Structure 1
Amino acid sequence: MGDAVRAEYLLKAFQVTHLHVECRELAAQCLIKQEKYEDAKVLMEQALSNATPLPHTDTKTSDPDISIKAREQFLLGTALLKLRKIGRAQKCFTEALLADSRCYDALHSLLEHCSLRDIDGSDILQDIKYTDLAPEVADFVKMMYDIKSRNKYSHDPVFDKKIDEFALQYHLTDNADILISKAEILLVRCRFEECLRIATSILLKDPFNLEILPTRIACLYQLGMNMELFELGHELVDHYPKLAVTWYSVGTYYLAIKKYEDARQYFSKSSLLDSNFGPAWIGFAHTFALSGESVRAINAYSTAVRLFERMHHPRMYIGMEHLYMKDLSLAEEYLISARSICEFDPLLENELGVLYYEKQEYETAAEYFENAIAITGELHEKSLMWEHTYANLGHCYRNLKQYDKAKTCYNKVLQMNPASANAMSVLGMIHHLEGKVSDAIVYYHNALATQPSDILTTELLDRALQDSAAAYQKQELTSNDKDTYTCMLQALPDIQVDQGPRQKTPGRMSNGTTRQTWLLTQASPIANSAGCSDVIGAGPSSSSGIFFGASSTNSGLAVPFPGWGPPPAPTPGRVDGDEDDDGMEVDDE
């Protein structure tokens, strides 16, 4: 800041701001650095409105005039962005990029701050002319821009292969932009371990790469790595105390250890530092959802919908809240709207499966659960995170009387979590129904060994023991017995669990939801299926955008960060507001 003040003083003292292009641009940068955004805006508007070349512009050594225009449009866009004039800033960045295809900063700002509102990065690239570049250079730049602006919500295996070939051709397999693009796609598809490996590899080579940080924070949160979150927060506070991502990291840590009030205030601070930083808005809304305040959560998510029109996460979370409140019509409206933006989020597919299960459309529900499993690939088989999606799919097959498929799903659950009493009980019921009483008794015993207080499983075990004694005498179950079990099985999905608190254990709730700290890497929120019900046959459980990690028992450090001081005071109308929790004005002109 001191250098910027001194530089501005010298420029004014020698009166060169209006004589040289470079001095004028430097003056604008100094003003932006000092947060004098209105002054910078006026300076650049005057420069752009005056098409007459400056008297001391050296056309032999300076860039062509078109490049000057690109730089000045970019600086004007930056000032407008800081003034929250998003619409005008977007136009300036677009003009800069069209004026000079080499203006990478303009593309980065468009994708980082504007593309989640009402534009598509790929649409902008179609209008760029590369005539000022050599053909080979133009092809290289165009491919890098395509990679940078690719839609992470789509699935294009052909383009994925093209990226790999391009990276090999130009020896860019370790290029940060390419790796970040891959990491963002893995994050959307909930492949957190693989995503974290890529994020870590980027930071090993470039510890100050800020663009990958939201993605890394998301993965750490999802995988229950609270100590790493704690350490990362300290590093960011020490080095970047004025960046939004710093306080977003702190808020995510407090969210992970379930200190929702503190998390809310740090997310608020993050969004105040940068109102265009999407992850902070989503994290802020999560604090209400996880506290059981569904109405306030929906208000906060709605603000995010307004600010980030091309993001599917806020719509998905609103749908999840309505699903939790059993408002199926509104839940369907928002979830379908979210899916129109992103068809490859396994979390969203699971939520739609839960929705249609509740509507007793079991075939449709099964399709969505199958989609969720397919999108994640094979990685989920090595983790406990997806056991609940398999259980949900098993519930569908069970209601469709496709018992072999149901057993396969429940066995998958047991492979991931051998202590799942729910899966063992349901397997016992299916075997009981099929007349395999001895197998059913074994499953009931195993379930009760894990969860001795389960009354329903106890009753089923008693019945199985009675039937086993009868079968010993008659060598077969009567048809009346089978009819009884069939009725029992059909009735089970209607059993309601005790709603109680929204969150019982990390990643498990009674018909509730976990949340994902949505991580939108700026060029790009938040995910595992939430806990399966503790009551047999209670139906599928809703999932979240961000996993707490079904197997995570680490609650993190329940102590404040030394040297951070108390959390900032809530912003009036934001943290404690009743109607609108955005807490700031955003001019979209």
Structure 2
Amino acid sequence: MERFLRDWRQDALNKAQYESAIFIGDKLLAMTKDENDAFWLAQVHFAAGNYTRAHDLLNKHGLIGTNPSCRYLAAHCLIRQNNFADALALLGEHTPTHLFTSNAKRKTHRTAGRGTRAGSKNLDRQPDELSEEEWSVRRYEAGMCYLRGLCYAKENAFDRAKEAYKDALRIDVQCHEAFTQLVRNSLMSADEEAEFMQSLDFGAVRAPRGGDDPELRSEPGDYVHMLYQTQLSKYGNPRAFNVAVESLSTHYGLEDNADLLLARADLLYTQCRFKDALAITAAVLREDKTNFPAYPVHLACLYELKRTNELFLVAHELADHHPEHACTWLAVGTYYLATGKIADARRYFSKSSMMDATFGPAWIGFAHTFAAEGEHDQAVTAYSTAARLFTGTHLPQVFLGMQNHAMNNLTAAEEYLKSAYQLCRADPLLLNEMGVVLYHQDRLRDAAKFFRQALLVADETGADPHAWLGARTNLAHAYRRLRLLDEALDEFDAVLRDGGKNAPVLCAKALILLDKGLPDEAARVLHEALAVNPQDPVATELLNKALEESAAAGDLAVLMGGLRTGEAGAEGEPDDDDDEGGRGGGGLGGGGADDDEELARFELELEEKKAAAMRRLERRGRWSSTAGLGGGGGGRGKGKAVMRGNARGGRAAGAAEYEVVDDDDDDDDDDKGGEDVMMDMSDDY
């Protein structure tokens, strides 16, 4: 009868017929008074959502203090009831470090007298030596570390939560819930993730019974390692990610698995290949519209591509069917942000973050709304909150640096960007921002180094080259001010080749040609700029200067040719016409004094025109040497950075274009032009 009732209870539980399972389980427990039957009845209550009844049942039979599985279930019931303090008191704050396994040595690390619990005294052996029951107890201990981390996170003790999650994986590398909390909430930087993955003992994953083949025993651990590798930060090691995805796709048939597809989309998004990423997320959502992890990247791609109609449809559908999910209100906020309704966007981003305090995209979007309105102080506060919540991602620090740069606090901006650089060294956006700040501090060589590094990283990771034309433009400006004119000209040509006709870039190229003494070439380039933007005041002024220089150079050439002609005539070449004694230099009469007077007037006029031409050349040299983005010469102001556009966040990084405006109000020098307004130091992509 007992076996019959247990089979009946299990069959009802498998079919989600919880009332039947509770009814039969209660009769079975009354018959047997067995602790195992009490535990399973509590499991049925938990599955049915009766968390209070499940906890009371375990407490009534005195199982919480004697069995790790019962203690885990009781703590889980308390967490589901939002009794986090009681759950933490039940779980305790001591970590069972004697259960840790290491990748370096296949043996456990013991800590005498700490964290030892009832039922775990024989668990300090190697995992391969444990029985099924002992291995089950070990897994429950790892689960309790995971629950401890949840309680710490609810108390905003994120450092302790991170350590608890890591402890869960050190005990049982198959505790995927803990791994998900670490990765999805960005609690570790890319370098820290790589180091932690190296420390985990994937060889401890238990292989199927019935074989002594070493490959068979190691294959499950390799499989788990590859699955985890696909979920790590895409700024860390793209090559390892591609190897893992390729192996999982070819050997295990996971090429169409949603998690692997989303991992690919995430990588493409970090490479600014928004159309490719959107195609993947759209395919995933067509198969499963409730796959909520796909929505942050999907929404970010729609925003970057300015597809507001699709954003509206996604947000409307989610609001109709899933109003209880934080992703829904993220979608609504993203739509309002894309359509310029900043106040509405802020309200819905705030609602999303209140529904799930660990939802990173909502916090970043909330901060973006302040940045979009130029409310820099509020934006700094919001980004600071995101940086405190998500300590492993560099994006909040990048945005803090951008906001301080916009307020012309270059020292603070540099400090925030350095903090972001410590977390991630492989983001072209961050490297470009560091270069922009250094540029405005007149540290041109350092700025050029970061611009080059940004382009190198973008090329190595396969990023869309059109997305980083701003960084290449910035590098060209840095070369120009370093007087590396040929290198600057090459970079501007590359920008024009990849990005098409661009009036500011054409103006910058013309300026370099003027600096190299090629006014005719500069005039041709400036005509191209005016063809793109006929009302461009900078191109107009530069064209006037180029024409002046060209005319001055032509006058000088004509005068020098006339001088050579006059000198040749003065050498006394014989004249066949002997009328009035001739005009040859060797004649003895007939107008020799008049010739001397005319030659003297000619030489005087020549000297005056040469002096005028030299003054023009000197004026051009002074103007081109002092002109620059944000000043940097001749006592000029450094300039102010004005942020344009919106920054992207979540798995979302920001985008802003810095246009440098000259602070010099001195209008005495008519030749200084308007170059500072014309050139953009940009991270736009």
TM-score (norm 2): 0.66
Does residue 271 (structure 1) correspond to residue 349 (structure 2)? The answer is: no
Paired residue for 1:519? 650
Gaps of 5+ in 1: 54-58, 497-508, 550-589
Instruction: Please list, as runs of the form range in 1=range in 2, the aligned pairs for 1:252-291 lying within 5 A after superposition.
Output: 252-291=334-373
Q: How far did 1:297 drift?
A: 1.8
Q: How far did 1:430 drift?
A: 2.5
- Of 301, 305, 329, which aligns to 1:247? 329
Is the 2:265–2:277 Cα contact (8 Å) retained in structure 1? Answer: yes
Measure, in 2, the Cα distance between the counterparts of 1:459 and 1:118.
Answer: 49
User: In structure 1, the residue corresponding to 2:225 is in which secondary structure?
Assistant: helix
Measure, in 1, the Cα distance between the counterparts of 2:170 and 2:316.
Answer: 41
Query: 2:624 is aligned with what amino acid?
Result: L
Is the 2:190–2:235 Cα contact (8 Å) retained in structure 1? Answer: no
- Of 102, 107, 127, which aligns to 2:174? 102
Paired residue for 1:144? 227
Measure, in 2, the Cα distance between the counterparts of 1:353 and 1:10.
Answer: 57
Q: How far did 1:425 drift?
A: 1.8
- Of 635, 657, 677, which aligns to 1:530? 657
Query: 2:468 is aligned with what amino acid?
Result: W
Is the 1:86–1:114 Cα contact (8 Å) retained in structure 2? Answer: no
Paired residue for 1:237? 319
Measure, in 2, the Cα distance between the counterparts of 1:242 and 1:36.
Answer: 21
- The answer to which of 74-83 and 336-345 deviates more is 74-83
Measure, in 2, the Cα distance between the counterparts of 1:462 and 1:201.
Answer: 55
Does residue 362 (structure 1) correspond to residue 456 (structure 2)? The answer is: no
Is the 1:394–1:406 Cα contact (8 Å) retained in structure 2? Answer: yes
Does residue 380 (structure 1) correspond to residue 515 (structure 2)? The answer is: no
Measure, in 2, the Cα distance between the counterparts of 1:143 and 1:487.
Answer: 61
Q: How far did 1:245 drift?
A: 2.5
Q: How many residues align?
A: 520
Q: How far did 1:61 drift?
A: 9.9
Is the 1:511–1:542 Cα contact (8 Å) retained in structure 2? Answer: no
Is the 1:101–1:129 Cα contact (8 Å) retained in structure 2? Answer: yes
Is the 1:66–1:99 Cα contact (8 Å) retained in structure 2? Answer: yes
Does residue 340 (structure 1) correspond to residue 422 (structure 2)? The answer is: yes
Residue by residue over 1:215-272, the C-alpha shift from the partner in whole angstroms, topping out at 9 and shown as x without a partner, is 2222222222222222222232233322222222222222222222222222211221
Q: 1:119 to 1:515 in 2, by over 3 A?
A: same
Q: How far did 1:346 drift?
A: 1.0
Measure, in 2, the Cα distance between the counterparts of 1:284 and 1:79.
Answer: 25
Measure, in 2, the Cα distance between the counterparts of 1:34 and 1:443.
Answer: 70
Q: How far did 1:493 drift?
A: 1.0
Q: 1:231 to 1:76 in 2, by over 3 A?
A: same
Q: How far did 1:317 drift?
A: 1.6
Larger Rg: 2
Q: How far did 1:78 drift?
A: 4.0
Measure, in 2, the Cα distance between the counterparts of 1:445 and 1:302.
Answer: 47
Instruction: Please list, as runs of the form range in 1=range in 2, the aligned pairs for 1:171-320 lying within 5 A after superposition.
Output: 171-320=253-402
User: In structure 1, the residue corresponding to 2:292 is in which secondary structure?
Assistant: coil
Q: How far did 1:341 drift?
A: 1.1
Residue by residue over 1:491-544, the C-alpha shift from the partner in whole angstroms, topping out at 9 and shown as x without a partner, is 221567xxxxxxxxxxxx973244423123xxxx32556265696344864556
Residue by residue over 1:419-455, the C-alpha shift from the partner in whole angstroms, topping out at 9 and shown as x without a partner, is 5221122222233333433332233233334444443
Q: Which has the higher contact order (CA 8 A, sep 6+)?
A: 1
Paired residue for 1:133? 206
Q: 1:7 to 1:450 in 2, by over 3 A?
A: closer
Query: 1:526 is aligned with what amino acid?
Result: A
Measure, in 1, the Cα distance between the counterparts of 2:681 and 2:348.
Answer: 27
Paired residue for 2:34? none
Q: How far did 1:133 drift?
A: 0.8
Is the 1:530–1:542 Cα contact (8 Å) retained in structure 2? Answer: yes
Does residue 112 (structure 1) correspond to residue 154 (structure 2)? The answer is: no
Paired residue for 2:50? 8
Measure, in 2, the Cα distance between the counterparts of 1:448 and 1:510.
Answer: 26
Does residue 421 (structure 1) correspond to residue 548 (structure 2)? The answer is: no
Q: 1:463 to 1:95 in 2, by over 3 A?
A: closer
- Of 406, 409, 414, which aligns to 1:327? 409
Query: 2:50 is aligned with what amino acid?
Result: E
Measure, in 1, the Cα distance between the counterparts of 2:57 and 2:404.
Answer: 61
Give the structure with the larger helix fraction: 2
Measure, in 2, the Cα distance between the counterparts of 1:435 and 1:9.
Answer: 83
Q: 1:539 to 1:432 in 2, by over 3 A?
A: closer
Q: 1:92 to 1:429 in 2, by over 3 A?
A: closer
Q: How far did 1:338 drift?
A: 1.1
Q: 1:262 to 1:65 in 2, by over 3 A?
A: same
Q: 1:515 to 1:380 in 2, by over 3 A?
A: same
Query: 2:425 is aligned with what amino acid?
Result: E
Q: How far did 1:347 drift?
A: 0.9
Query: 1:287 is aligned with what amino acid?
Result: T
Query: 1:487 is aligned with what amino acid?
Result: R
Measure, in 1, the Cα distance between the counterparts of 2:58 and 2:377.
Answer: 57
Paired residue for 2:16? none
Residue by residue over 1:391-436, the C-alpha shift from the partner in whole angstroms, topping out at 9 and shown as x without a partner, is 2222112212232332233233334554522112222223333343
- Of 122, 141, 148, which aligns to 1:69? 141
Measure, in 1, the Cα distance between the counterparts of 2:47 and 2:276.
Answer: 45
Query: 2:650 is aligned with what amino acid?
Result: L
Gaps of 5+ in 2: 1-18, 20-44, 94-114, 121-130, 208-216, 559-609, 632-639, 662-673
Q: 1:237 to 1:137 in 2, by over 3 A?
A: same
Is the 1:18–1:24 Cα contact (8 Å) retained in structure 2? Answer: no
